[in-house]
Structure 1
Amino acid sequence: MSAPHPRILYIDDDEGLRRLVARVLARKGYTVTTAASGDEGLACVSARAAAGEPFDLVAVDHYMPGRDGLSTLEALRVLPDCPPVVYVTGSEESRIAVAALKAGAQDYVVKAVGDDFFDLLSQSFDQVLEAAALRRARDRAEQDLLASNARLEVLLREVNHRVANNLQMVMAFVSMQARSVADEAARDALHRAHQRIATIAQVNRRLYTTNDVEFVAIDEYLEALAADMGEAWSSQRPRDVRVSADAVRLKTDLAVTIGLAANELIGNACKYAYPPDADGAVDLTVRCHGPQDDGSAILTLTVEDKGCGMPADGLVQGTGLGTRLIDALTRSRGAVLAHTPVHPGTATPGTRASLTMTLSPDDWSATAED
Structure 2
Amino acid sequence: MSDAPTRSRILYIDDDPVLARLIQKALARVGIEVVHAPDATEADRLLLGEKFSAVVLDHYLPSGTGIDILARMRAAGSKVPAIYVTGSSEATVAVAALKAGADDYVIKSATEEFLPLLERSIRQAIVKLELEEARDRADAETHAARARAEMLLSEVHHRVANSLAMVQSLLRLQAQASASEEVRTALAEAQGRIGAVAAVHRSLYLGNEGRQVELGTYLRTMLSDFTATLPSEVRLEVATVPVHIGADRAVCLGVVVSELVTNAAKYAWPGGTGGRLSVTLAEGRDGKGRLVVADDGIGSSPLSESRGTGLGRRLMRAMVDQLGGTVEQPDTARGTTVVIEFETECETVG
**TM-score, normalisation: structure 1:** 0.89
Work out which of the residue numbers 80, 88, 91 in structure 2 matches 1:91.
88
Cα distance 1:144–1:122, how it changes in 2: closer, same or farther (>3 A)? Answer: same
Shift of 1:38: 2.2
User: Secondary structure at the residue paired with 2:328?
Assistant: strand
Shift of 1:279: 2.1
Shift of 1:318: 3.0
Shift of 1:304: 0.4
Q: Note if contact 2:303-2:329 (Cα within 8 Å) is conserved in structure 1.
A: no
Work out which of the residue numbers 41, 44, 52 in structure 1 matches 2:43.
41
Q: Where do 1:198-347 residues align within 5 Å?
A: 198-210=195-207, 212-234=209-231, 238-275=233-270, 277-289=272-284, 297-310=287-300, 315-343=305-333
Shift of 1:143: 0.3
Cα distance 1:6–1:158, how it changes in 2: closer, same or farther (>3 A)? Answer: same
Q: Note if contact 1:229-1:241 (Cα within 8 Å) is conserved in structure 2.
A: no
Distance (whole Å) between structure 1 residues aligned to residue 124 and residue 302 of structure 2: 85
**Residue of structure 2 in register with 1:356 after alignment:** 341
User: Secondary structure at the residue paired with 2:327?
Assistant: strand
**TM-score, normalisation: structure 2:** 0.93
Shift of 1:44: 0.7
Q: Note if contact 1:274-1:280 (Cα within 8 Å) is conserved in structure 2.
A: yes
User: Secondary structure at the residue paired with 2:141?
Assistant: helix
Measured against aligned partners, the alpha-carbon deviations of 1:1-37 in whole angstroms (never above 9, x if no partner) come to x975111001001111111111111111112111001
User: 107-116 vs 316-325, which deviates more?
Assistant: 316-325
Cα distance 1:123–1:3, how it changes in 2: closer, same or farther (>3 A)? Answer: closer
Cα distance 1:69–1:313, how it changes in 2: closer, same or farther (>3 A)? Answer: closer
Distance (whole Å) between structure 2 residues aligned to residue 232 and residue 221 of structure 1: 18
Aligned-residue identity in percent: 36
Distance (whole Å) between structure 2 residues aligned to residue 307 and residue 341 of structure 1: 14
Q: Where do 1:44-193 residues align within 5 Å?
A: 44-48=46-50, 54-193=51-190
Q: Note if contact 1:342-1:351 (Cα within 8 Å) is conserved in structure 2.
A: yes
Distance (whole Å) between structure 1 residues aligned to residue 339 and residue 7 of structure 2: 75
Identify unmatched segments of 5+ residues in structure 2.
none
Q: Note if contact 2:288-2:348 (Cα within 8 Å) is conserved in structure 1.
A: no
User: Secondary structure at the residue paired with 2:276?
Assistant: strand
Distance (whole Å) between structure 1 residues aligned to residue 157 and residue 330 of structure 2: 40
Distance (whole Å) between structure 1 residues aligned to residue 97 and residue 303 of structure 2: 89
User: Secondary structure at the residue paired with 2:329?
Assistant: strand
Cα distance 1:28–1:311, how it changes in 2: closer, same or farther (>3 A)? Answer: closer
Stretches (4+) displaced over 4 A: 311-314
Q: CA RMSD, aligned part only?
A: 2.0
The residue type equivalent to 1:324 in the other structure is R
Cα distance 1:313–1:98, how it changes in 2: closer, same or farther (>3 A)? Answer: closer
Identify unmatched segments of 5+ residues in structure 1.
49-53, 344-348
Distance (whole Å) between structure 2 residues aligned to residue 309 and residue 214 of structure 1: 38
Shift of 1:333: 3.2
Distance (whole Å) between structure 1 residues aligned to residue 169 and residue 193 of structure 2: 13
Shift of 1:209: 3.0
Measured against aligned partners, the alpha-carbon deviations of 1:241-267 in whole angstroms (never above 9, x if no partner) come to 211011122221121111111111111
Q: Note if contact 1:341-1:350 (Cα within 8 Å) is conserved in structure 2.
A: no
The residue type equivalent to 1:13 in the other structure is D
Q: Note if contact 2:320-2:327 (Cα within 8 Å) is conserved in structure 1.
A: no
Distance (whole Å) between structure 2 residues aligned to residue 300 and residue 312 of structure 1: 18
Measured against aligned partners, the alpha-carbon deviations of 1:173-204 in whole angstroms (never above 9, x if no partner) come to 11111111111111101000000001111111
User: Secondary structure at the residue paired with 2:228?
Assistant: helix
User: 161-170 vs 351-360, which deviates more?
Assistant: 351-360
The residue type equivalent to 1:242 in the other structure is E
Cα distance 1:227–1:276, how it changes in 2: closer, same or farther (>3 A)? Answer: farther
Shift of 1:67: 1.3
Cα distance 1:312–1:174, how it changes in 2: closer, same or farther (>3 A)? Answer: closer
User: Secondary structure at the residue paired with 1:159?
Assistant: helix
Q: Note if contact 1:110-1:117 (Cα within 8 Å) is conserved in structure 2.
A: yes
Q: Note if contact 1:91-1:110 (Cα within 8 Å) is conserved in structure 2.
A: yes
User: Secondary structure at the residue paired with 1:315?
Assistant: coil
The residue type equivalent to 1:72 in the other structure is I
Measured against aligned partners, the alpha-carbon deviations of 1:346-367 in whole angstroms (never above 9, x if no partner) come to xxx111101111233xxx3556
The residue type equivalent to 1:277 in the other structure is G
Cα distance 1:216–1:173, how it changes in 2: closer, same or farther (>3 A)? Answer: same
Distance (whole Å) between structure 2 residues aligned to residue 318 and residue 302 of structure 1: 23
Work out which of the residue numbers 23, 26, 29 in structure 2 matches 1:24.
26
Cα distance 1:82–1:158, how it changes in 2: closer, same or farther (>3 A)? Answer: same
Q: Note if contact 2:282-2:290 (Cα within 8 Å) is conserved in structure 1.
A: yes
